[in-house]
Structure 1
């Protein structure tokens, strides 16, 4: 067993990323030492701080990792989980660097984590921990609009980001750009509409674009388009739920949904909204009236389907189950759901894998839009919505005059409406995901790279190298 493997034979999360990086490095002509610089984490801040919870003082373990400073600020979420450790946070920070480069978001990668279980701690105590964590970041200059900009991740959301912003503002009063110190905030505090569903929507856009490529669909024996595609989604959190909803609305058939406690299956399709309501009311997706229960979540991954979307944990597809995966396409909505060994098995089977460093970049893309909104101090659409409506009204009047025909009130409403903030955000996200997909595919063809993952890493590394060269760091 390799020193980088654990007792189950799986590689550490960080080593999985390093192996993928090394595969891509074969296609890049640059000194090895410079590649090592790109691969290494720049700064790792591990902290322990006391917080009074009830009558006791608890020592909390937390991290903030800045993987790359090739562009500033650094960017990455903060997760609250008992599974938080240095290896995980370093890996997620590295993934953020590569994601940002692929989708042309000008950030270096970062990630944060606090080792707590938010399900067992009161809101009051979570607030105490969040504010203390923020003050620790401020002390060491690990947060700021031009330094390091956190965002939500597993176990956190708008509430925690609001506390982070408020704490930053209280300690950096007078900073005109303070709103941009964190993204994923409530809209009332400078957040951007469309952020919550951004990662899931980005997953939808990326897989949809793949399904429009006839050559790729022919290679796996599928028709072009999403309509009628049988999809299995593992994880019904924020990412999985929104991805499932967009796939369902597009005409795809969600045949199975899997959560930690088990999975549900209906070959004719599941209504995602009804399943989510059932989950909300019962605390579990199991025993949904219109589906069969599957006792083990892992078994749901092995069902016959066209597209499998792992949207929960890392390493869920590994060398022991990869041969049993029957999906023709796997879209990595989660970070690192496939181990390097499983990757090789699936490649040999001809499975198309849409990699995480591209596919789940929707969240950071829309976070970038929020950051820009905060720095510009103006809401998207504010200066153009009414102008566009007036221009549309003039066009409509000309059309009615020339055609000598009146357009219905319902049709007028559609034509006259100017772009809202959410329209512009979703349009920007869609364009970003489409462009990223085709850049990866073009590079894959030109260099004759075997799969999308390696091509995505090559694209990302080349962009980072270009940034360093412009800074004059590389000879």
Structure 2
């Protein structure tokens, strides 16, 4: 049997992978089995089929919306457009959203949606028809609303689709003063928040950067503290992978390889991410990038020498057949479920540090939370404090210049005087969230002597969900 066929034969149910990780964490908790089963279960699965006229034909579209947990409302999660969408995948992603939100103290239950279409071959006009019809179906069953269920972009969707969802919701909910908060990931002109597009990739960067500051952890894998000079490989150059690569490059890390579906490129001296993107737009592929080596099998790029590996594309790309060949000392799960449970065990025995997806890629939902709050408050971030901060800084600089009898250079003065913009506040909030989340997981791992960060993250998440249920008075 070939390795490719072996991988297919060993394919996991995505949902069962999450349950295995959940069960590992449950061993560290003295919680009644029934309550654990409630937390694991999806509360509501809405599978729908609806007709849409495409050209002269009527096509029946298959779609889903899953609400995994109602321990906090609204539910929150993206909508993906993919021909591979299925119920198992959507249920799993909804469960991951529940755990992510709990870890980073975002007060949402987890949800996820999906429409089974290929957005690459469906026209924009027909995607709009499908999106609007899907939204109306959600409204009929009370599966969308600012306090009920708030969708967001995911694979195959973006600002355009979110604006159609908002517009459809608004037209069918006249007088809803908080209608803007029915969906996040909108264009800024329609109530979106600055910094949302790069949020997940930036969150990945903040999480790995915080790990690399920890002397104890770096000693355990034989690396120096800090990101500067670390060799990084990133699989996937979508929204998450591209922004993560950009931030790592700006921090002094060396991007030695980038992998996409058609293959990968490698240069031990480092790749300039911006130039690779320009090459991709020009040629339609990252392959044949100047001064780089092509790697035909994209999976082989995961096995190259590096310090940090960032799988930012698909689930289950690191499995029992290639885990022993992974040379990275740190794996940051920017994608959902890129490491199977069996690979997790193999890599753990090798001493590889894995920063889990339920923490590391929570940057998107964190900034979605900021957008939701902005929509509910009906005021732009920075509007009330920006001018006040600038005035206070002006007075402070005048005191300093008078005391020191020295003028501060104009460029430096401009930088100090500037009050916080919306994007500054959003990024500051995201950075604080990711740093605090990492230390909560790390501290719990050490205090309970848990085997790895993933299990500690699940333990932290379950504890927070239990606490929410107890406050609601649902369980004794």
Cα distance in 2 for residues equivalent to 1:127 and 1:277: 29
1:5-24 alignment to 2 at 5 Å? 8-24=9-25
CA drift at 1:192: 0.1
Tell me what 1:176 maps to: 177
Tell me what 1:345 maps to: 346
1:224-243 alignment to 2 at 5 Å? 224-243=225-244
CA drift at 1:22: 0.1
Please list the CA deviations of residues 285-343 of structure 1 after superposition, one character each: whole Å capped at 9, or x if unmatched: 00111211000000000000000000000000001100110000000000000000000
Cα distance in 1 for residues equivalent to 2:236 and 2:379: 36
Cα distance in 2 for residues equivalent to 1:384 and 1:66: 37
Cα distance in 2 for residues equivalent to 1:323 and 1:83: 29
- Give the aligned CA root-mean-square deviation in angstroms: 0.8
Please list the CA deviations of residues 348-400 of structure 1 after superposition, one character each: whole Å capped at 9, or x if unmatched: 00000000000000000000000000000000000000000000000000111
Residue 125 (structure 1) aligned with residue 126 (structure 2): yes
Cα distance in 2 for residues equivalent to 1:385 and 1:277: 36
User: Could you tell me whether the CA contact under 8 Å between 2:7 and 2:321 is conserved in 1?
Assistant: no
Cα distance in 1 for residues equivalent to 2:123 and 2:420: 41
1:319-358 alignment to 2 at 5 Å? 319-358=320-359
1:303-318 alignment to 2 at 5 Å? 303-318=304-319
Please list the CA deviations of residues 27-68 of structure 1 after superposition, one character each: whole Å capped at 9, or x if unmatched: 111100100000000000000000000000000000000000
Please list the CA deviations of residues 209-242 of structure 1 after superposition, one character each: whole Å capped at 9, or x if unmatched: 0000000000000000000000000000000000
Cα distance in 1 for residues equivalent to 2:104 and 2:464: 10
Cα distance in 2 for residues equivalent to 1:144 and 1:107: 13
Tell me what 2:450 maps to: 449
User: Could you tell me whether the CA contact under 8 Å between 2:235 and 2:313 is conserved in 1?
Assistant: yes
Tell me what 1:371 maps to: 372
Any unmatched runs of 5+ in structure 2? 1-5
Cα distance in 1 for residues equivalent to 2:291 and 2:101: 40
1:356-395 alignment to 2 at 5 Å? 356-395=357-396
Tell me what 1:280 maps to: 281
Cα distance in 1 for residues equivalent to 2:281 and 2:470: 51
1:49-88 alignment to 2 at 5 Å? 49-88=50-89
CA drift at 1:282: 1.1
3-state SS, counterpart of residue 192 of structure 1: coil
Please list the CA deviations of residues 150-205 of structure 1 after superposition, one character each: whole Å capped at 9, or x if unmatched: 00000000000000000000000110000000000000000000000000000000
Cα distance in 1 for residues equivalent to 2:283 and 2:141: 44
User: Could you tell me whether the CA contact under 8 Å between 1:165 and 1:178 is conserved in 2?
Assistant: yes
Cα distance in 2 for residues equivalent to 1:402 and 1:6: 70
Residue 300 (structure 1) aligned with residue 301 (structure 2): yes
The TM-score, its normalising length taken from structure 2, stands at 0.98
CA drift at 1:408: 1.1
In the alignment of these two chains, the number of paired residues is 471
In the TM superposition, structure 1's runs of 4+ consecutive aligned residues that sit over 4 Å from their partners are none
CA drift at 1:7: 5.5
The TM-score, its normalising length taken from structure 1, stands at 0.99
CA drift at 1:6: 9.3
Cα distance in 2 for residues equivalent to 1:226 and 1:66: 38
Residue 432 (structure 1) aligned with residue 433 (structure 2): yes
Any unmatched runs of 5+ in structure 1? none
Cα distance in 2 for residues equivalent to 1:281 and 1:56: 35
3-state SS, counterpart of residue 318 of structure 1: coil
Cα distance in 2 for residues equivalent to 1:277 and 1:195: 22
Please list the CA deviations of residues 101-146 of structure 1 after superposition, one character each: whole Å capped at 9, or x if unmatched: 0000000000000000000010000000000000000000000000
User: Could you tell me whether the CA contact under 8 Å between 1:255 and 1:268 is conserved in 2?
Assistant: yes
Cα distance in 2 for residues equivalent to 1:193 and 1:9: 42
3-state SS, counterpart of residue 131 of structure 2: helix
User: Could you tell me whether the CA contact under 8 Å between 1:6 and 1:12 is conserved in 2?
Assistant: no
Tell me what 1:220 maps to: 221
1:135-284 alignment to 2 at 5 Å? 135-284=136-285
3-state SS, counterpart of residue 63 of structure 2: strand
Tell me what 2:472 maps to: 471
Cα distance in 2 for residues equivalent to 1:324 and 1:409: 54
3-state SS, counterpart of residue 268 of structure 2: coil
CA drift at 1:11: 1.8
Cα distance in 2 for residues equivalent to 1:379 and 1:7: 49
Tell me what 2:3 maps to: none
User: Could you tell me whether the CA contact under 8 Å between 1:10 and 1:339 is conserved in 2?
Assistant: no
3-state SS, counterpart of residue 197 of structure 2: coil
Tell me what 2:108 maps to: 107
Cα distance in 2 for residues equivalent to 1:136 and 1:6: 37
3-state SS, counterpart of residue 293 of structure 1: strand
